[in-house]
Amino acid sequence: MRRPSLLCALPCLLLPACAPAGTTVVRPADTATAGAKGVGDPLFPAMGNGGYQVEHYGLSLTYEPKDGGITATAEIGARTDRALSSFSLDFHGLQVDGATIDGTPATVARTGDALRLTPAKELAADTAFTAVVTYHGAPETLTDPDGSQEGWLKTPDGAVALGEPNGSMAWFPGNHHPSDKAAYDLTVSVPEGMTAVSNGELSKQQTANGRTSFTWHTAEPMASYLATVAIGSFTLDRTAAGTVPQTVAIHTAQAQRAADVPSWVAAVTDWGARLFGPYPFSSTGATIGSGPSIDYALETQTRPYFNHAPDEISLVHEIAHQWFGDSVTPGSWQDMWLNEGFATYAEWLWQEQHAGPTAADTFAEYYALPKTDDLWSFPPAKPPSAEDVSGDPVYYRGAMTLHRLRETVGDATFSTILRTWTTDHRHGNVRTTDFTDLCTKVAGKDLAPLFQKWLYTSGKPTTP
Ligand code: TRP
Ligand code: ZN
């Protein structure tokens, strides 16, 4: 289901398993060692963990509106990359009540946001295991490196969990790096009358003793930053107006303003499928909240989250992410332009095809910005720090790169490139060089100068 680990594309200092062929590895491969803390992401060194890959998260949360707390169990089905004496999970705040590995109690140690589990018996290489962590408490809101809020956010009548780049550790322990994607089943129990919304399809809904539990199933691999839960007064709209099954969760306070959203979701999903290739997931949709004062939307898988009814263009951006970011996922946070540059260019294409400015007009508007503008503060494929992964160059200069590519190779080849990209890397992880190599191959010409100029060179290019 998943492509092989991309960890080897990242610096391998902490990962003896990644030593290139021919290098002398001192330890025999079957000697169990502690799994690394961090996967070596240059911008987020603490995120993710070495030694294993998660295949499935089974999360079960009981939400208590009185104090906003949760009581939860995370069942993590994973596979070792190598023999492990212990391993880490990323986890923030909440109180851990216990942990088992394959049914046997494990030793728990916490340092900062690392939760280290030591099994009673070492785990062999290339072996499936199940870790279960039980925990409770009031999940926290985190401030991410660019200053915006993520993690667990309170809303007027509930909460919403948003995890880009590292907020998911505020509500469940996991391998919180986009290079480790997994399937999910999430059950949330709420007082009867409230609704809990998550990714994928609602597979079960049950009311007993004044509480309702909602179970959501995500079969396709999902990066943990795309996992979400929204709790409150929502209605689930399943008007299937397009070719992909859809569920739009609309907060009752937004019912009027969001009236058009279900038909837009259908139209935009089908538009994307025509342009980018088959829609990558078994359902589409959106969640329209009423609330927390965040100033962004998030492309939570299959069901992008908006804190109020979106306009059409924001919907285009977040639904385009389902191909670019959610299905084809960067293996490193440095490569965020593969998400944001593409989703932004999707907006330009939508406008061009719907009586708006042409992509060339939009490109020209950005290119006209003075060289002192933030747009030119760093090259899109080389964000210098964690806070820059959501910076202007990642979005707009990333989109400009795609526009220059399109002008250079022509519309037909550009379209083939996009469709080959989403097909070859469907549900996988990628790096920028995967994209530039693919472009060169499909176009049959040397595009290195174009990418060098637009993706890697500091400052405003002197010519478009
Ligand atoms: N991905 C969001 C969007 O579609 C924006 C965003 C929120 C973001 N948090 C982030 C981007 C962290 C990069 C890093 O626009
Ligand atoms: Zn985006």
Q: What does the alpha-carbon distance between residue 255 and residue 185 come to, in Å, rounded to a whole number? A: 28
Alpha-carbon gap, residue 314 to 222, rounded angstroms: 22
Structure tokens given for 124: 């062999």
Cβ–ligand 1 contact at 117 (below 6 Å):
no
- pLDDT per position as a tens digit, 400-416: 999 999 999 999 999 99
Please, is 123 exposed, middle or buried when counting C-beta atoms within 10 Å of its C-beta (0-12, 13-18, 19+)?
A: buried
| pLDDT at position 28 | 60
Last residue of a domain, one of 169, 198, 227: 227
Please indicate, yes or no, whether residues 286 and 377 belong to a single structural domain of this protein: no
Ligand 1 and 326: CB distance under 6 A = no
Q: Is the CB of 338 under 6 A from ligand 1?
A: no
Give the residue whose CA is nearest to atom 4 of ligand 1.
298
158 with 278, same domain? no
Q: Which of 326, 333, 390 to mutate to test the pocket of ligand 1 (most atoms within 8 A of CB)?
A: 390
Q: Are residues 420 and 375 in the same domain?
A: yes
Q: Do residue 362 and residue 414 come from a single domain?
A: yes
Calculate how far, in angstroms, residue 296's C-alpha sits from the geometric centre of ligand 2. 9
Domain assignment present for 442: yes
Please tell me whether residues 94 and 157 are part of one structural domain.
Answer: yes
Residue 186 main-chain phi, psi, to 5 deg? -130, 125
Q: Is 336 within 8 Å of 328 (Cβ atoms)? A: no
Tell me, yes or no, whether 241 and 205 share the same domain. no
For the entire predicted model, the pTM comes to 0.93
Q: Which ligand is nearest to the CA of 226?
A: 1
Q: How many domains does the chain have?
A: 3
- 383 and 279 in one domain? no
**Is 39 within the bounds of a domain?**
no
How far is it, in rounded angstroms, from Cα 217 to Cα 212?
Answer: 17
For residue 187, which of 300, 96, 58, 55 has the smallest C-alpha distance? Answer: 58
pLDDT at position 27, please?
Answer: 56
Q: Is the CB of 383 under 6 A from ligand 1?
A: no
284 CB near ligand 1 (under 6 Å): no
CB contact at 8 A, 286 and 268: no
Determine which residue's CA is closest to atom 1 belonging to ligand 1: 298
Q: Is the CB of 180 under 6 A from ligand 1?
A: no
The protein residue whose alpha carbon is closest to atom 9 in ligand 1 is: 164
| Series of mean pLDDT values for 10-residue runs along the chain (464 residues) | 34 39 54 95 97 98 97 99 98 98 98 98 98 98 93 96 97 98 98 98 98 98 98 94 95 97 97 98 97 88 97 98 99 98 99 98 98 98 98 98 98 98 98 98 97 98 96
Does residue 358 belong to any structural domain of this protein? yes
Give the C-alpha separation, 314 to 296, whole Å: 10
Mutate to test the pocket of ligand 1, among 166, 228, 296 (most ligand atoms within 8 A of CB): 296
pLDDT of res. 196: 98
